[in-house]
Amino acid sequence: MLYIKFAIKSQEKFIAFKEVYNHMCAVRKPGYQEEEKTIDWETATDEEIDHFMDEDKPKIELFNQLFPVYAQEFLRNYFSYDKSKSILVRADILSFFNYLEYGFEVDLDALEKQKENEVIVKFSTGNYPYGGMERFLMTLKAFELNPIECFDGYNVYLFQWTSDYEHDAIILSEKTKEYITSLQQK
């Protein structure tokens, strides 16, 4: 079982993150279908028709609904930092959101409080590289949830954050051995 432990700075922002987490769980369930758009062609205005025909609009609206302004601002800065872009462009939103829904190829198994301000998200996958964790880490950071430790399938390591967007991985060899042994005993 893979995991990421993170520290909560704000309960309110953790609750907001849980909306994203719940959506990520929902899209992974068999039979999940997105809400189908409808339009009354007889009475629709040109603006309503344009809105209806824009296939990306529902995803962007859902992103805006799930990600509060402070989280969008963090991601805007991340994209700017990561790609030298000055604005959060539509393509960034769509590819980032698509990753959370479908590119992060994991089953989200649990979101559990460990301590008062420490939570663990447990996930599993039959795929490797399963989409990687970087964008999920940035999602956590966007809600001021600070990743502190993880098991990536190979090592348990501590995050030593060198900036808002980059970290060094401090491998915990002894803890890795203990964790892998505990998994084998289950």
- Beta carbons of 135 and 96 less than 8 angstroms apart: yes
The structural domains of the chain, with segments of one domain joined by +, span 2-28+48-152
> pLDDT exceeding 70 applies to what percent of the chain?
87
* Res 85: pLDDT: 43
* Res 34: pLDDT: 73
Average pLDDT, the chain: 87
Of the pLDDT bands very low, low, confident and very high (cuts 50, 70, 90), residue 23 is very high
Higher-pLDDT residue of 13 and 51 is 13
* Res 91: pLDDT: 62
26 closest CA partner among 69, 62, 70: 62
* Res 182: pLDDT: 93
Which residues, at least 6 apart from 158, have a Cβ–Cβ distance to it below 8 Å?
A: 148, 149, 169, 170, 172
**pLDDT (mean) for 103-108:** 88
Question: Which pLDDT tens digit goes with each residue over 109-120?
Answer: 999 999 999 999
Q: What is the pTM of this model?
A: 0.84
* 86 pLDDT more than 60: no
State the DSSP H helix or E strand holding residue 111, giving kind and residue range, or none if neither. Answer: strand 107-115
* Res 81: pLDDT: 66
* 107 pLDDT more than 80: yes
